[in-house]
Amino acid sequence: MMTSVMTRRGLIGAFAATMVVAAPTSSKAFGFLKGAGDIRRISMFSGRTGESIDMVYWVEGEYIKEAMAEISRFMRDVRSNEVKSIDARTIDIAAASHRLLETSTPYNMLSGYRSQATNDAMRRSSSGVAKNSLHIQGQAADLRVDGRTVSQIYRAAASCNAGGVGKYSRSNFVHMDCGPLRTWGG
């Protein structure tokens, strides 16, 4: 049975299956993270802006407010320079998927938050853009990873059982969101 919300059990299972014990030595993490046990990390770059992030955003059950704000700024609509808070569940899905891929290569983020105007403009030039895209709500990301195929990324994200996962082989990216549990393009 498919559920309409991402389950905590699904995310915990994905992280438990992929837990990596590592100190956050090369991140922008804050001083209190040194020696922390249970952490979540995200690493991405944007070819559109040339910016990158590599940071711990969650430690021992708590999201780091400053890290989440930086992630939201990084994932802003680069066409309008608008920032919207990115839903932490989307970052959790991306981070869990990345761990399953067993690579240190960061994600290439193609699209995070999109303003309504940006989404409408993209819809006019592509039939694959949803009218009510979760990108507009700050709940989706389009990602790729050098050295991993779209199929590999898709399978990793889908195995998290937490949100929507779309495979776009011709455009070489995978869509991940924290909306209802569903897959397409696979």
Structure tokens at 66: 């400053």
Domain range for 122: 8-184
Do the domain assignments include residue 164? Answer: yes
Strand partners, 173: 168
Q: Indicate whether 4 pLDDT > 50.
A: no
149-173 tens-digit pLDDT = 999 999 999 999 999 999 999 999 9
Number of domains in the chain: 1
Do the domain assignments include residue 2? Answer: no
Residue 156 host element (H or E): helix 150-158
Compute the distance between CA of residue 28 and CA of residue 9 in angstroms, rounded to an integer. 29
- Rounded to two decimals, the pTM is 0.79
CATH code for position 121: 3.30.1380.10
Do the domain assignments include residue 3? Answer: no
Residue 43 host element (H or E): strand 39-45
Do the domain assignments include residue 1? Answer: no
